[in-house]
Amino acid sequence: MHAARPLKIVIASAGRRAHYIEWFRSALSSQGISGEIIAMEYRTTSPTFGLANRNMVAPAYNSPDYSDFIRDWVRAERPDLFLSLNDYENQIMSDGLADELRELGCKVAALSPFAQSVVLDKYRMAAVLAEHGLATPITHLGSHATLVKGERPQGRFVVKHRFGSGSRGLQVASGCDLEEAVTESARTAIGKHGTLDGGKVDNVVVQELLPGTEYGIDGMFSLDGSGSLLGVLARRKDVMRDGDTDIATTVSADRFVPAMSGLGDLLKPIGPIDVDFRETAEGRPDIIDINPRLGGGYPYCHRAGADLPAAIVRTLAGLEDEPSLLTYRFGVTTARREDFTVVHEDVDMPVGSR
């Protein structure tokens, strides 16, 4: 049975990932569901503004006006789903605002305060995952770099921001230059509240560099907050550029399902999350990062036949699950490319020619 009224889906802070706007619009059409995709950004030149059914300019997530604006807008518009692609916006959502919006009838793809505190802090995340039997590299604070170097002088290490988003501050270092890498990463590291914090080395974490292949995994969880895992999509990261996947190949997700199910039990995600794994020397996939949102790597599975946006809109519309939407072809290699979107056109300007 279709939704009693047209769906309203807000996709906030998509920025350059404007393809998500297109894919959600296509999902409504392909599933025969009436509705609109609303792009919410603080910049009127965001690429999403050229692709959505409707655009909404909102205060930036770190503005003092942000929470009041979102609360009032949701109360007036009554959207069905609020989905942000910005880690820091999701952090604000998880700190009480998401629950307020849910009371207004809007589903919000954001974690609980406990779960958000786990994924926000990579040092704490490693400890909590280990406590719950989920494999992850041993993680040290930047201030322990000397101790780590002493224990493994010939080792290779990953240095990254403790509270960072994406691959900011990421460096690979040997034992001899580990402390220098920590100091350098700390210069741009942010603190717990999302602002630069004076180069403190404990805003950086150190992990042993795992030698195996890296994988990006998308988990789709129930929108009811139960943590029920509905599907898992996987791709091998073949080529990286500036910390992002440039070329990837789809693979079977079977070996990642137990860990993703365990994350569902622990974090109770709502909707999609993006998790990075890397293999140990023994071939065991360890969790190295968790992004509680639609990630930048999902398109590799979309191009191989998955349609996660369609699975989401069907759920919102009250339709039966369609498992085929979360299946895809293995062995499909896809390369990232750039595109261009017209976001504004002055119709009063004359047409030019040579």
156, β-bridge pairs: 174
Which tens digits make up the pLDDT trace of 250-308? 999 999 999 999 999 999 999 999 999 999 999 999 999 999 999 899 999 999 999 99
Beta bridge pairs of residue 220: 231, 272
> Distance (Å, rounded) from C-alpha 170 to C-alpha 186?
10
pLDDT at 3: 47
Residue with the two structure tokens 């440039």: 246
- Residues 82 and 12 sit within 8 Å (Cβ to Cβ): yes
Q: How many Å apart are CA 18 and CA 11, to the nearest integer?
A: 10
Instruction: Record the tokens describing residue 56, joined without a space.
Output: 């909404």
Considering Cα of 300, then 306, then 310, then 314, what sign does the dihedral take? negative
- Determine the pLDDT at residue 348: 67
**pLDDT, tens only, 181-206:** 999 999 999 877 666 766 899 999 99
Count of residues making up the chain: 354
Q: For residues 200 and 182, what is the distance between their CA atoms, to the nearest angstrom?
A: 10
Instruction: Give residue-wise pLDDT tens across range 306-333.
Output: 999 999 999 999 999 999 999 999 999 9
Per-residue pLDDT of 72-100, as tens digits, reads 999 999 999 999 999 989 999 999 999 99
pTM, rounded to two decimals? 0.92
Q: Which of 276, 253, 227, 196 is nearest to 114 (CA)?
A: 227
- Give the residues across from 334 on adjacent strands: 248
Greatest C-alpha distance within the chain: 70
Torsion of CA 22, 28, 78, 49, to 10 degrees: 20
Q: Name 56's Cβ contacts closer than 8 Å, sequence gap at least 6.
A: 10, 38, 39, 40, 41, 73
Q: Is 3 helix (H, G, I), strand (E, B) or coil?
A: coil
pLDDT, residue 354, reads 55
- Cβ 212 vs Cβ 282: under 8 Å: no
The angle subtended at Cα 178 by Cα 172 and Cα 182, nearest 5°, is 85
d(CA 128, CA 132): 6
Rounded CA-CA distance 274/276 in Å is 7
Contact predicate 19/312, CB 8 Å = no
